[in-house]
Amino acid sequence: MKNAITKSTGSRYTDSHRREAAMTFLVTGNLRATATQTGVNERTLSDWVKADWWEPLLQTLHYEKGRELDSKLSQIIDRALDEVADRLVNGDHKIGRDGNLVRVPVPAKEAAIVAAVCFDKRQIIRNLPTAITQDKDYLPRLAAQLRAGLLANTPGGGG
């Protein structure tokens, strides 16, 4: 992206300044706050916002931050799942009567909640349903459609 940022002759701002200003603008959404936080003149920022390199730079930075956030969230999810798995197998940490840390089995209700949530999330990831709704009229409606289709395709059957 650095090559897409054109530097005017004699500018005291580097591509690094422009990236910092764009990132600050992404976070604040405000030119005045961006100027205050980066030390770049507000008028200069206003000119940059109108430059042809500004929007592509914002998009690139937004994408980069999104990937960074995705990575951090994935690490947190992995750690949390490891902890849950450990607790389900080895028990939850509790302080015993003697003041020492002991492991006790996870209550069935809590284990069932963990299983239900994990199952639903797995279904979502696999793009599968998480609930089944019943339509009492589905089978009669389907039968009527099949009869209508069969009648329409038979000789003298109305089709």
Per-residue model confidence as pLDDT tens digits over 19-49: 999 999 999 999 999 999 999 999 999 999 9
Q: What is the pLDDT of residue 64?
A: 95
Of the chain, the percentage scoring pLDDT greater than 70 comes to: 90
Q: What is the pLDDT of residue 6?
A: 53
Give the burial class of 48: count Cβ atoms within 10 A of its Cβ; 0-12 exposed, 13-18 middle, 19 or more buried.
Answer: buried
What residues in the chain have per-residue pLDDT under 50? 1-3
Q: What is the pLDDT of residue 49?
A: 96
Give the burial class of 111: count Cβ atoms within 10 A of its Cβ; 0-12 exposed, 13-18 middle, 19 or more buried.
Answer: middle
Q: Would you give the end-to-end CA distance of the chain in angstroms? A: 64
- Asked if residues 66 and 58 have their Cβ atoms less than 8 Å apart, the reply is no
Q: What is the pLDDT of residue 73?
A: 95
Q: What is the pLDDT of residue 123?
A: 93
Q: What is the pLDDT of residue 7?
A: 53
Which token pair is 62? Answer: 């937004």
DSSP letter at 66?
Answer: H
How far apart CA 32 and CA 22 sit, in angstroms, is 13
For the four alpha carbons of 106, 110, 114 and 115, in that order, the dihedral sign comes to positive
How far apart CA 15 and CA 94 sit, in angstroms, is 54
Q: What is the pLDDT of residue 158?
A: 55
Category of 91 on φ-ψ map: left (φ > 0), alpha (ψ -120 to 50) or beta: left
Q: What is the pLDDT of residue 125?
A: 92
Global pTM? 0.60
Encode 128-154: b = buried (16+ Cβ within 10 Å), e = exposed: eeeeeeeeeeeeeeeeeeeeeeeeeee
Q: Helices H, strands E: what count in the chain? A: 6, 2
